[in-house]
Amino acid sequence: MRVVVLGAGVVGVTSAWYLAQAGHEVTVVERQAQPAMETSFANGGQISAGHAEPWARPGVLPKILRWLGREDAPFLFRLRFSPAQWEWGLRFLFECMPGRLERNTRELAGLALYSRDCLVELRERTGIEYQSLQRGILHFCGDERDFAELARHAEAMRKLGIARELKSREECMALEPALRRSSVPIVGGVYTPQDESGDAHLFTQQLARMALARGVTFRYGTTVQAIESKGERVTGVTVRDSGERIEADAFVVALGSYSPLLCAPLRIRMPVYPLKGYSITIPLTPEQEAAAPSVSLTDEAHKIVISRLGNRLRGAGTAELTGYDDAVNAVRCESILRRIRQLFPDLVPAAEVEHWAGLRPATPNNVPLIGATRLRNLFLNTGHGTLGWTLACGSGRALADIVSGQRPGIGFKFQ
Ligand SMILES: Cc1cc2nc3c(=O)[nH]c(=O)nc-3n(C[C@H](O)[C@H](O)[C@H](O)COP(=O)(O)OP(=O)(O)OC[C@H]3O[C@@H](n4cnc5c(N)ncnc54)[C@H](O)[C@@H]3O)c2cc1C
């Protein structure tokens, strides 16, 4: 079959890879000049299958209220006159109910574990290199109450097949000695030894290169204007400016936060809204490299993740509900840098720190939308929110199975 994938972020490129592996003739259409130039550009770098949980949960509501109006808040709701934003916000509140948390966690955990297996298999088969570190993820807390909550949750996750090891303060320091110099207290943490980290941008670029070598066509600098349909089928997509029409037998929407905008005229509605996040990337001198962490870290109190990418350190996180504005806000980047300085006082940046902002394609319950639509040859692979790289390989592979008329190798509530 001729399949067109719309979007060359990490989700579009993994979809294209697995579709090509399934024997399809694949074309990827992307408005940027290269793959992974938008949300997949400078994320937190974690493959956090052992921590794949929704942000929507009962305990998050009092925190959001406490943070309201604070420019450097980990979660910031900037109210806009936007029905889509309000609808998303209300659905997020609904997903915070305890019964929903359990159901959403089960969906996410299953897909995340499958996805990590797919990534490991892909890496072993192709030798793809992306500054990968297989040293696990340590989720640490500076406060006894947060630690007790993490411990309670670790027990629940164990029942879903996710090995989370509870670590005392001393055990955290032994796992990641760079934390010994932290100027903020660390009381304990939860360690997921099978989790990984690496550079999602590099991964996507390398995978696109391998896909190209195996016959996938990439149309960069090509902005999709509209998806056209007739009856129950998509007939083609039109390209902005040139008016060119691209035809195929099947189409996959992997447009990240922009997916709902192109699908709305087809009367396909989806609860995907941009959840803005920030990252900073610190270049390390050879002396700093020895002192910098190499276990990927999650700081519970500040909701940031820290990953080592070769001779750089990436700090990423925070969430801001502010529409499609992707401008970098220096206050929010500085708050990530301030926290990294507190944790690793020796890591005073010797060169310029890169600031970045990206729009996570978020659903209110964190569960992505993968599978069929009301149009028989239009498929979705979008809405991966905070976990796009963690879920990408499993989502791409399952999507390729669905397009091929096969049953995916994972139980998940597909569309
Ligand atoms: C600060 C931050 C930290 C994060 N940390 C992690 C992490 O540690 N681990 C993890 O798993 N996930 C993380 N994520 C989430 C992850 O980065 C995203 O879920 C993932 O990148 C989404 O990929 P995507 O392919 O769906 O979207 P994108 O990467 O945005 O790709 C969509 C593509 O569609 C293209 N496009 C859009 N409109 C058009 C059009 N009209 N025509 C043609 N092309 C178009 C865009 O140019 C883009 O390339 C983080 C996100 C942020 C913001």
In percent, the amount of the chain with pLDDT more than 90 equals 79
CA of 197 to the centre of ligand 1 (A): 17
User: Which residues does residue 315 pair with via DSSP β-bridges, in sequence order?
Assistant: 280, 306
In this prediction, residue 160 has a pLDDT band, given cuts at 50, 70 and 90, of confident
pTM of this structure: 0.96
Nearest CA to ligand 1 atom 18: 388
Distance in angstroms (rounded) separating the CA atoms of residues 278 and 339:
14
Atom of ligand 1 nearest to the CA of 391: 11
**What's the token pair of residue 219?**
């149309």
**What's the token pair of residue 240?**
């902005």
Helix axes 83-95, 98-126, angle to 10 degrees: 100
Average pLDDT, the chain: 94
- Tens of pLDDT, residues 26-38: 999 999 999 999 9
Q: Which residues contact 127 (CB under 8 A, 6 or more apart)?
A: none
Question: CB of 30 closer than 6 A to ligand 1?
Answer: yes
- Tens of pLDDT, residues 281-308: 999 999 899 889 999 999 988 889 999 9
Cβ 323 vs Cβ 85: under 8 Å: yes
CA of 36 to the centre of ligand 1 (A): 7
Question: CB of 28 closer than 6 A to ligand 1?
Answer: no
- Tens of pLDDT, residues 39-49: 999 999 999 99
Question: CB of 116 closer than 6 A to ligand 1?
Answer: no
Q: What is the structure's pLDDT at 149?
A: 85
Atom of ligand 1 nearest to the CA of 223: 42
Question: CB of 394 closer than 6 A to ligand 1?
Answer: no
For residue 330, which of 386, 280, 276, 274 has the smallest C-alpha distance? 280
Q: Which residues contact 59 (CB under 8 A, 6 or more apart)?
A: 149
Cβ 286 vs Cβ 51: under 8 Å: no
Q: What is the structure's pLDDT at 167?
A: 96
Specify whether the backbone of 88 is left (phi greater than 0), alpha (psi in -120 to 50) or beta.
alpha
Measure Cα distances from 414 to 134, 384, 387 in Å.
30, 13, 17
Which residue's entry shows tokens 């760079």? Answer: 178
User: Which residues does residue 296 pair with via DSSP β-bridges, in sequence order?
Assistant: 137
Question: CB of 39 closer than 6 A to ligand 1?
Answer: yes
Please work out, in degrees rounded to the nearest 5, the angle formed at the alpha carbon of residue 377 by the alpha carbons of 373 and 383. 40
Question: CB of 387 closer than 6 A to ligand 1?
Answer: yes
pLDDT of 77 over the 90 cut: no
CA of 134 to the centre of ligand 1 (A): 23
Atom of ligand 1 nearest to the CA of 385: 19
Ligand 1, pocket-test mutation among 4, 39, 253, most atoms within 8 A of CB? 39
Q: What is the structure's pLDDT at 4?
A: 98
Q: Mean pLDDT: which of 148-152, 181-185, 258-262, 290-294 is highest? A: 258-262
Please work out, in degrees rounded to the nearest 5, the angle formed at the alpha carbon of residue 390 by the alpha carbons of 312 and 79. 85
Q: What is the structure's pLDDT at 137?
A: 97
Nearest CA to ligand 1 atom 5: 44
- Tens of pLDDT, residues 339-389: 999 999 988 777 799 999 999 999 999 999 999 999 999 999 999 999 999
Q: Higher-confidence residue: 208 or 101?
A: 208
CA of 138 to the centre of ligand 1 (A): 24
Q: What is the structure's pLDDT at 34?
A: 98
CA of 192 to the centre of ligand 1 (A): 24
Atom of ligand 1 nearest to the CA of 305: 8
In percent, the amount of the chain with pLDDT more than 70 equals 100
CA of 329 to the centre of ligand 1 (A): 19
Distance in angstroms (rounded) separating the CA atoms of residues 50 and 154:
10
Question: CB of 316 closer than 6 A to ligand 1?
Answer: yes
CA of 114 to the centre of ligand 1 (A): 20
Q: What is the structure's pLDDT at 282?
A: 96
Nearest CA to ligand 1 atom 19: 388
Ligand 1, pocket-test mutation among 38, 220, 266, most atoms within 8 A of CB? 38
pLDDT of 63 over the 90 cut: no
Q: What is the structure's pLDDT at 253?
A: 98
Q: Higher-confidence residue: 152 or 127?
A: 127
Range 112-129 average pLDDT: 97
pLDDT of 65 over the 90 cut: no
In this prediction, residue 79 has a pLDDT band, given cuts at 50, 70 and 90, of confident
- Tens of pLDDT, residues 314-336: 999 989 988 999 999 998 899 99
pLDDT of 255 over the 90 cut: yes
**What's the token pair of residue 155?**
């027990």
- Tens of pLDDT, residues 181-217: 999 999 999 999 999 999 999 999 999 999 999 999 9
Q: What is the structure's pLDDT at 349?
A: 77
CA of 367 to the centre of ligand 1 (A): 15
pLDDT of 8 over the 80 cut: yes
